[in-house]
Structure 1
Amino acid sequence: MTRLNTMAQLRRVSDRRARREGRRPARRPRAEDRSSGNRLQWAALAASSLPGIAALAALLFTWVSVDQTGEQVRIAERGLVTGRFNAAIGNLASPAVDIRLGGIYGLERLMRDSPDDQPTVVTVLTAYVREHTRGPAGSAAQARLATDIQAAMTVLANRDPSRDGSGDFDLRDVRLRHLGYMGRWDRAHQRVIGINFPEADFSAADLSDADLGDAGLAGAVMAGTTLREATLTGAQLADAVLTDADLARSRLVRADLRRIEAAGAHFEDTYLTRAEMADARLQRASLVRASLPGANLRGADLRQADLRDADFTGADLTGADLTGAKNLSTAGFDGAVLKGARGLPSQQ
């Protein structure tokens, strides 16, 4: 109680002093004053936030505008691609060879600029080659290959196969005699690049005297294909189907022929020096006078093959099966590795 009285006295003294000095006595803030102060604080906070809200709205508007612009650009680009494609297709129908060449190279540029369109371009170019080269053997196809066909094949050979997608790489029954070399010089890596035909279908095609040196033909289907006198030096033919194919007098030096399916194929007078032919299936194949020095034939199936005057000097026939091979006694096996080979005469 004494303390309360003392506080009251001090307050009265303070009020009298304030009146003498002309000041309003201090008073305790009321509830309405505090409410008014809060409103002012919120108003100030809202006012300070306005620039940020405006900036956020501007950013949102800009993002929507950019997205719409990007979509418009994409639509314009697709329209440009479509226009280029249609122009190239129109050029292919021209009677003038230079205009047809322009169409072929236009499709090549389109294929590089728009990888998503490569399957379509591959389908178009292979169809173009088929329609302009099909015909009976011994006809006008015997002549030197037309310039536009050579160009189309070169474009196809130098594409990136990984982008083929569902492209229809169908070259069955085409006539491509004297097909020229399709590799290109890569200045950046100082080497020849191409030729890419993996898993392509060349069934019953005529590739006589074609230059397919170092070609990538792994897994290609070449059943019944004519490759007489063709150059396939260093070619990659692993797992290719060569059933009944004609490779007489062709050059397959250092070629990769592992696991090929070549039953009934013709290799008469063929050069297979140092060729990789491990696990090759050569049943009933004709290797008459074939040259195979240093070839790798480990595990090869040569049952009933005709080996008349074939040269296996230094070849590796470890585990090969020569059961029923014809004219085996005339073949040369000097220095050949015959460990585990089956079907050899006892003196071998």
Structure 2
Amino acid sequence: MARLNTSARLRRISQRGTRHGGRPPAKRPRADERTTAHRLQWAALAAASLPGIAALAALLFTWASVEQSGEQLRIAEQGQVTGRFNAAIGNLASSAVDIRLGGIYGLERLMQNAPDEQPTVVTLLTAYVREHTRDPANGRADAHPATDVQAAMTVLANRDPARDGRGAFDLRNVHLRHLGYMGMWNPNRQRVTGINFPDADFSGADLGDADLEHARLSGAAMADTDLQEAGLDGADLSDAVLTNADLARSRLAQADLSRIQAAGAHFEDTDLKKAGLEGASLRRASLVGASLPGAILRGADLREADLRDADFTGADLTGADLTGAKNVSTAEFKDTIRTNARGLPS
């Protein structure tokens, strides 16, 4: 009887709660309702991503178009380079000097605009100079290089040697006597620049009376080269090979001749005032009547050299070796620095 009363009371309490606005317990969502919600969320996310995907697609399309255009441009440029190169070569074969000059200057512009072509242009122009200077012009000692040859040498002199690559700078046995000055006015640096022939091969060449002032000839091969009366004041000939070269009566004031290999070379009556000859190899060289006031000959090898009437006034002979030198007694050694020098009378 007690249990029945209790159940009755609970039913009445439940009914009163419902009448007074009480909420029934929350129902858990069914599985199909959860699936629908997830789909709506993914749909919203996809809709929000559409502008970004479209932008990415446009970017990829643009990149592909640019790459294709760039490749087409490179092909076109290469075609232009080839066309200009062929045209220049054709001009070089002309019998008219003005057309040949056009070909030479066309190759110069090609080097400037297409640096990768410089090795080929250097090889071509040096071959052109060799072909047109096999023999002295008209057999006359006073003849100057032809106009087109001078132009080709000037173009070569004013190139950037750093771009030569495997270009063959071969000017062996060329006849370039009385070669004119090849420097050019540089408006940016406000001075004459150019004449760049480092590591060039002038072996056996005739460069007599050539104007090579301030030229860069470091490391050049000039064995047996004729440089008589050449103008080389201020030139850089460091590490050059001048074995048996003839520099008689040439002008080398303040030139850099450090570490040159000049065994058996001729420096008769040569102007070497204040020249740098540190570490130079001058064994058996002829310095007869040479002028060397203020020259730097530290560590120079002058063994068996002929020093007749040479002027070493104020020269630095520190560590120089003059063992076996000839005609030492006729040379002038006033105010020289002789620390550790060998072969000189005390």
Give 2:306's aligned residue: 306
Give 1:112's aligned residue: 112
Secondary structure (helix, strand or coil) at the match of 2:215 reads coil
| Partner deviation per Cα, 1:204-225 (whole Å, 9 max, x = no partner) | 0000000000000111110000
Give 2:345's aligned residue: 345
Residues 41 and 340 of structure 1: is their aligned pair in 2 closer, same or farther, counting only changes over 3 Å? Answer: closer
Q: Distance in 2 between matches of 1:337 and 1:260?
A: 21
Q: Distance in 1 between matches of 2:295 and 2:113?
A: 43
Give 2:210's aligned residue: 210
Give 2:73's aligned residue: 73
Secondary structure (helix, strand or coil) at the match of 2:132 reads helix
Q: Give 1:283 deviation, angstroms.
A: 0.7
Secondary structure (helix, strand or coil) at the match of 1:211 reads coil
| Partner deviation per Cα, 1:239-291 (whole Å, 9 max, x = no partner) | 11000000000000000001110000000111001111111111110111111
Deviates more, 1:57-66 or 1:230-239: 57-66
Give 1:128's aligned residue: 128
Q: Which amino acid aligns with 1:250?
A: S
Q: Distance in 2 between matches of 1:70 and 1:335?
A: 69
Give 1:250's aligned residue: 250
Give 1:182's aligned residue: 182
Q: Distance in 2 between matches of 1:265 and 1:138?
A: 29
Give 1:294's aligned residue: 294
Alignment map for 1:96-245 (pairs within 5 Å): 96-135=96-135, 139=139, 142-245=142-245
Give 1:276's aligned residue: 276
Q: Distance in 1 between matches of 2:12 and 2:307?
A: 133
Give 2:51's aligned residue: 51
Q: Which amino acid aligns with 2:245?
A: A
Residues 117 and 341 of structure 1: is their aligned pair in 2 closer, same or farther, counting only changes over 3 Å? Answer: same
5+ residue gaps in structure 2? 1-5
Q: Distance in 1 between matches of 2:339 and 2:36?
A: 107
Residues 254 and 9 of structure 1: is their aligned pair in 2 closer, same or farther, counting only changes over 3 Å? Answer: farther
Of the three residues 10, 16, 19, the one matched with 1:13 is 19
Give 1:331's aligned residue: 331
Deviates more, 1:209-218 or 1:309-318: 309-318
Q: Which amino acid aligns with 1:13?
A: R
RMSD: 2.5
5+ residue gaps in structure 1? 18-25
Q: Give 1:61 deviation, angstroms.
A: 1.3
Amino-acid identity (%): 72
Give 2:321's aligned residue: 321
Q: How many residues align?
A: 339
Q: Give 1:192 deviation, angstroms.
A: 1.3
Give 1:21's aligned residue: none
Deviates more, 1:140-149 or 1:330-339: 140-149
Q: Give 1:14 deviation, angstroms.
A: 7.3
Q: Give 1:37 deviation, angstroms.
A: 2.5
Q: Distance in 2 between matches of 1:213 and 1:307?
A: 26
2:85–2:110 Cα contact (<8 Å) kept: yes
Q: Distance in 2 between matches of 1:286 and 1:138?
A: 32
1:141–1:175 Cα contact (<8 Å) kept: no
Q: Give 1:135 deviation, angstroms.
A: 2.1
Q: Distance in 1 between matches of 2:12 and 2:257?
A: 116
Q: Distance in 1 between matches of 2:17 and 2:195?
A: 106
